[in-house]
Structure 1
Amino acid sequence: MVDGLVIAGGLAGAAGLAGVVAALARRRTPYLAAGHGLARPDDIDPLPAVLRRGLGGLTVPVTPGPRGELFLGPGAPQPGRTLRRLVLTPLFARARGHNGRITRDQKVPFRLVVEFTGAVRDAETLLRAYRMLDQQLRDHSGLLSRCAGDDLTPGAVTVSIAGIVDVRELLVTEEVRYAFAEGSFDDLGSRSAPPALVPTISEPWSRRFGWDGLEPIPAEERHLLHAMVRSAHDDGRTVRISGLPKGPRSAREAIWTELGAAGVDVIADHDQRHLARHLRRHPVSRWAAQEPLPTRAVRRPSPRPNAPRPERRRQSV
């Protein structure tokens, strides 16, 4: 009898523990709009980890290959290791499965940065690769942030082009564009790089700052950081900082904290796991899109020719 009670109690305890585990498994990871993962060159499938941790963006290095396809991973292009198969298709499939959002609590677009890398510098090859990427994006136009003239409309995903290819002259000629150029603080106030073309200022930390997080930040560097971020926001742009110095985790967390205090919109790092944990404990800001993200996935809308442009409004893309 006693043994039976012990067994029953053990089973009840196990059932309770299983319930707790199941409840934890069902707990949704919050969408961390300020968190941005940097894929390493040898990571050929970087998207799942970023989505699992709830980060709000990903920079993925790509190399042009045969017929203009963009490939991930080191070495020669390998079948199946394309940006389309490993990043674009699963990302947009996820958005379609969540009524036009990457996660249910998403309030601003997921920021995908396609960074052209590699030894190929031939202008014709790079142009062909961009044209291929542009077509692949237009296949998912209903889910993308887009710009018609000066009017920006946020979508589930905002795509920016970075790296060795300069797409500004190409983008500015498109009547409706579904990708944007990356900018620097030097673009602030520039008529040739308006926020509708270059909505995000993206720079490595080491380009303008020398603080490594090991000691308290110098007052002049803190003042410069706050002033530059404020200037970017006043110019209608968001700010993403990457390229943080290597060092102990405590030093990196100190830099993350200062970036958050300065109002940096997006913090990018290779250390995705600890960055996500830090942002869950120390949110950068409360995000609120000026317009809700789309609730329906439209595959390829056909815009009306000569349609009147709506009044210009500043959007978060």
Structure 2
Amino acid sequence: MNDNGATFAGGLAGLAGVAGAVSIGNTLLRRPGPYLPAAHAIASPRAADPLPGVLRLGLGGLTVPVTPGPHGELFLGPGGPQPGHTLRRLVLTPLFARAKTRGGRLARDQQVPFRLVVEFVGANREPETLLRAYQMLDQQLRDHAALLSHCDGNTLVPGAVTVSVAGIVDVRELLAAQRKRYCFADGTFDDLGSRSAPPTLVPMISEPWGRRFGWDGREPIPAEERHLLHAMVRSAHDDGRTVRISGLPEGSRRARRAVWTELGAAGVDVIADGDQHGLVRHLRRHPVSRWVPRAPLPTRAVRRSSPRPNAPRPERRHEPV
């Protein structure tokens, strides 16, 4: 599942010729830390400018809450629109400008896409408003098509950045109708084996920890929960998808490290947390385990359509993005 470095490198080779030098400001030009694809930041609703710190620390992804505003524009945070505080100005423009000035990569050692999760939030759930907001996002992304992971027919092509849409807007039907799309739907473990949500539409499984697990890191993890975690991650990998876990338990740094350690040992591809500095320090010392064949584990909470414990493991069908 994680052996996609060569494919990604090949996909980026053609991006090196992207023309145009773009100035991105002194903050983003500061030398970042080593690129950590498993480290994923969750922007605080109160964050005035969430991207510079993420890039400086070398995190491999960011989840940003957005609210539709006038003319379909997307504003950061759940509150009322603030002038200039838009996804385009504070996230998309500087993120792709950085990739252009670095030959199609966000960092010299980047081997997998930066995962940007655009999470629609807020009280406004009018279908017309959400549709207009998605159309605006789609247009803004197509302006940077050469740098984006995309799906062309049934083929996933990795790029410097992979964008997923989550939250209150359901974009699956819209995306499925697009032969060539530049963003994807966020999925859950319930999508494993689903024909209506293939990896070309839902390449990443994203769930909060508390949806299926109760362990908070204060005591040793129960053997049953550990086995379940490994089984679910393996089922997702066998289905050609990456796994992102968010909503981690609040607690002491020691308890958080225990949770991060278990997620890394299970091969969770993306660990999402608001404690960016702590997560980065931990993953530099304890990288996420590469997936290797192991003894069968219980799969009771995984959908029946997922591989049975004793069934032959299927070949990976798609290169993950």
Superposition TM-score, scaled by structure 1 size? 0.83
Letter in 1 for 2:82: Q
Query: Is the contact made by 1:108 and 1:316 (CA closer than 8 Å) also made in structure 2?
Result: no
Letter in 1 for 2:62: L
Structure showing greater radius of gyration is: 1
Are 1:93 and 2:97 matched, yes or no? Answer: yes
Are 1:45 and 2:49 matched, yes or no? Answer: yes
Give the corresponding residue for 1:316. Answer: 320
Secondary structure of the corresponding residue to residue 201 of structure 1: strand
Give the corresponding residue for 1:303. Answer: none
Are 1:133 and 2:137 matched, yes or no? Answer: yes
C-alpha distance in structure 2 between counterparts of 1:202 and 1:258, whole Å:
17
Query: Is the contact made by 2:266 and 2:289 (CA closer than 8 Å) also made in structure 1?
Result: no
Question: What residue ranges of structure 1 are gaps of 5+ in the alignment?
Answer: 1-24, 288-311
Give the corresponding residue for 1:197. Answer: 201
Are 1:152 and 2:156 matched, yes or no? Answer: yes
RMSD (CA atoms)? 1.6
**Superposition deviation, residue 128 in structure 1:** 0.1
Are 1:143 and 2:161 matched, yes or no? Answer: no
Are 1:171 and 2:175 matched, yes or no? Answer: yes
Correspondences of 1:58-137 after superposition (within 5 Å): 58-73=62-77, 75-137=79-141
**Percent identity between the aligned chains?**
78
Query: Is the contact made by 2:65 and 2:78 (CA closer than 8 Å) also made in structure 1?
Result: no
Letter in 1 for 2:76: L
The counterpart of 2:247, out of the listed 223, 243, 247, is: 243
Query: Is the contact made by 1:137 and 1:178 (CA closer than 8 Å) also made in structure 2?
Result: yes
C-alpha distance in structure 2 between counterparts of 1:101 and 1:285, whole Å:
24
C-alpha distance in structure 2 between counterparts of 1:63 and 1:208, whole Å:
28
Correspondences of 1:176-255 after superposition (within 5 Å): 176-255=180-259
**Superposition deviation, residue 79 in structure 1:** 1.2
C-alpha distance in structure 2 between counterparts of 1:122 and 1:37, whole Å:
29
Distance 1:164 1:261, change over 3 A: same
C-alpha distance in structure 2 between counterparts of 1:256 and 1:202, whole Å:
16
Residues 117-145 of structure 1 deviation map (CA, whole Å, 9 limit, x = unaligned): 01111000000000000000000000000
Query: Is the contact made by 2:36 and 2:58 (CA closer than 8 Å) also made in structure 1?
Result: yes
Distance 1:74 1:42, change over 3 A: farther
Give the corresponding residue for 2:37. Answer: 33
Give the ranges of 4+ consecutive aligned residues of structure 1 lying more than 3 Å apart after TM superposition.
25-28
Give the corresponding residue for 2:278. Answer: 274
C-alpha distance in structure 2 between counterparts of 1:158 and 1:176, whole Å:
14
C-alpha distance in structure 2 between counterparts of 1:98 and 1:64, whole Å:
31
Query: Is the contact made by 1:152 and 1:313 (CA closer than 8 Å) also made in structure 2?
Result: no
Residues 260-300 of structure 1 deviation map (CA, whole Å, 9 limit, x = unaligned): 0000001000001100110011111469xxxxxxxxxxxxx
C-alpha distance in structure 2 between counterparts of 1:61 and 1:204, whole Å:
15
**Superposition deviation, residue 94 in structure 1:** 0.2
Letter in 1 for 2:118: V
Query: Is the contact made by 2:39 and 2:280 (CA closer than 8 Å) also made in structure 1?
Result: yes
